[in-house]
Amino acid sequence: MKELTPHIAIVGGGTAWVFGQMLLLAALPIIAPWMRGRWPPALSFGLGAVLMLYAAWTGLSGVRHLGRNRTPLPEPRSGGELVTTGIYALLRHPLNASMMAMGFGWALLWSSPAGLALALALTLFLHAKTRLEENFLRTRFAGYADYARGVPRYFPRFFNLSQS
């Protein structure tokens, strides 16, 4: 067990977080089509498509700008840099935002209440992982606290839904 702070211990160096994330992400493409709802699909499909486009934009931009600093673990790479340009100037966690939006988008495309519940579970899981990651980032990078005060976590300010 690896100690981050006196209050946070990471089991297996963060691999449990990666395993949980993979499990939830693997369940979504199975559960949503299998357990479809009975509500009218038109609005659900349109909203799902918009969320999937947001997921693609944030995910692809995040991978591109994070580059060699990318890791599935909550702890930043040893020798990594704090990336604050590109999409990271608009939101702090585009990869997690992408997975959250993808989960809800996929569930809505299939009009799946079970998929929505799973997307909510994925979102809560990723939010907890994000908070842990931010503790690591504050410890590792002196400028992270200032960056976090100015840049929202998951949605750019033009959506006006941001939480710091």
Contacts of 97 (CB under 8 A, 6+ apart): 54, 55, 58, 62, 91, 153, 154, 155
At 43-61, the pLDDT tens digits run 888 999 999 999 999 999 9
- Count of domains in the chain? 1
Residue 9 has pLDDT above 50, yes or no: no
Q: Is residue 149 part of a domain?
A: yes
Q: Residue 94 is part of which domain span?
A: 2-159
What is residue 159's predicted lDDT score, i.e. its pLDDT? 52
- Give the domain CATH number at 136: 1.20.120.1630
Residue position matching structure tokens 């990078």: 141
At 113-144, the pLDDT tens digits run 999 999 999 999 999 999 999 999 999 999 99
Interior CA angle at 73 toward 14 and 162, to 5°? 115
Is the full-model pTM beyond 0.85?
no
Q: Is residue 164 part of a domain?
A: no
Is 74 in contact with 132 (CB distance < 8 Å)? yes
Residue 164 has pLDDT above 70, yes or no: no
Residue 5 confidence class, pLDDT cut points 50, 70, 90: very low
